[in-house]
């Protein structure tokens, strides 16, 4: 006996989904936050290259953050399209005509998920870049953008691989879906220190301040992902025991990436501004300091 849903099954399911107040409110909330986040993300992308505070970061970090922001933009854009179409269909179309096509779901959900994975994949290349920046501190400020481009490519590669895993079992057998979802339920160094230039000191000090800013980014990312994954596991476990509309609402509410994008932009800009002020004061203190004392203090920070 065939288990393929009939047209009547789709119509009945769409009647329940479109009539769910919780689902509609969830879609409206996520749509509003995405609309708010999108222009802020575009503005932050511009500021990343033009703002004074951006000078705190090396060009390689800027490139990686640009890819990070593009991930947010891609996610918010696809979310705006998906939620707008769903809300329009629920309000104006007949139940049997509400079901989105499988192709439409695939195209926009791939963008949705790929954008998320780009955001999540930022941490690993960032750690690699900061490690190299610390090891090569004596001449890192003169290094070009090749490392940044390579790390950005790594971000995209990680995101592509994880997105492929998410959608490798995506089925195109049915022409429509009830709801668009991506998933179904040393000595040499000491010698260098003693002959270090003021330029090297600035590079190290800048690296320290940028690491403090990026640490805040890592903290935000870690807290958000732990909460997100814990709630996601909980939702998967209760999925069979709640109505489909409620389950979809919980899944959507558990992906507040537009809000996270806005919060992370505000927090990082504020932290970067504070570190820029501290950097200026610290350099004024260290400009005439004894080199041995300076590097002893630098070591204490790293320990």
Q: What is the pLDDT of residues 222-240, one digit of tens each?
A: 677 677 778 878 887 888 8
Which CA distances in Å does 214 have to 91, 218, 275, 283, 303? Answer: 44, 6, 11, 20, 17
Task: Tell me the two tokens of residue 111.
Answer: 């963008």
Q: What is each CA distance from 199 to 195, 210, 286, in whole angstroms?
A: 11, 16, 12
Task: Give 7-302's CATH code, choosing from 1.20.1070, 1.10.10, 3.30.160, 1.10.20.
Answer: 1.20.1070
In this prediction, residue 167 carries a pLDDT of 87
What is the SS3 assignment for 150? helix
Two tokens, residue 249: 């609402």
The residue assigned the tokens 């439409």 is 104
Q: Where along the chain do its domains lie?
A: 7-302
Is residue 130 predicted with pLDDT exceeding 70?
yes
pLDDT at 2: 47
Has residue 156 got a pLDDT over 80? yes
Q: Which residue has the tokens 């049997």?
A: 96
Longest dimension (CA), the chain: 85
pLDDT at 187: 39
Lowest mean pLDDT among 3-17, 201-215, 219-233: 201-215
Q: Is residue 33 predicted with pLDDT exceeding 60? A: yes
Mean pLDDT computed over 271-293: 55
Q: Which of 248, 23, 251, 17 is nearest to 116 (CA)?
A: 251
Contacts of 8 (CB under 8 A, 6+ apart): none
Cα-atom radius of gyration of the chain, to the nearest Å?
Answer: 24
Residue 252's nearest CA partner among 168, 181, 202 is 181
Mean pLDDT estimate for the chain: 77
Retrieve residue 80's tokens. 């705006």
- Report helix, strand or coil for 243: coil
The SS3 call for residue 129 is: helix
Which has the closest alpha carbon to 110: 29, 180, 38? 180
């Amino acid at each position: 006996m065939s288990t393929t849903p009939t047209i009547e099954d789709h119509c009945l399911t769409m009647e329940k989904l479109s009539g769910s107040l919780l689902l509609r409110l969830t879609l409206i909330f996520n749509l509003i936050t995405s609309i708010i986040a999108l222009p802020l993300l575009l503005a932050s992308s511009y500021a990343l290259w033009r703002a004074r505070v951006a000078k705190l970061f090396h060009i390689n970090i800027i490139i990686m953050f640009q890819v990070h922001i593009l991930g947010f933009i891609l996610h918010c854009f696809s979310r705006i399209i998906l939620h707008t179409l769903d809300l329009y269909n629920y309000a104006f179309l007949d139940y049997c005509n509400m079901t989105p096509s499988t192709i439409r779901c695939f195209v926009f959900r791939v963008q949705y998920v790929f954008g998320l994975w780009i955001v999540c994949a930022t941490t690993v290349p960032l750690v690699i870049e900061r490690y190299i920046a610390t090891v090569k501190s004596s001449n890192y400020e003169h290094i070009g953008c090749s490392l940044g481009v390579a790390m950005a490519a790594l971000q995209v590669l990680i995101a592509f691989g994880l997105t492929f895993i998410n959608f490798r079992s995506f089925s195109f057998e049915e022409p429509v879906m009830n709801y668009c979802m991506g998933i179904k339920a040393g000595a040499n160094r000491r010698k260098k220190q003693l002959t270090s230039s003021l330029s090297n000191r600035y590079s190290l000090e800048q690296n320290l301040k940028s690491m403090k800013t990026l640490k805040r980014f890592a903290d935000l990312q870690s807290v958000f992902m732990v909460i997100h994954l814990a709630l996601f596991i909980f939702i998967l476990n209760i999925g069979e025991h709640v109505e489909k509309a409620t389950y979809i609402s919980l899944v959507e509410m558990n992906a507040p990436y537009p809000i996270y994008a806005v919060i992370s932009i505000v927090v990082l800009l504020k932290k970067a501004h504070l570190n820029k002020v501290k950097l200026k004061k610290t350099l004024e203190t260290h400009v005439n300091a004894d080199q041995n004392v300076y590097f002893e203090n630098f070591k204490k920070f790293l320990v």
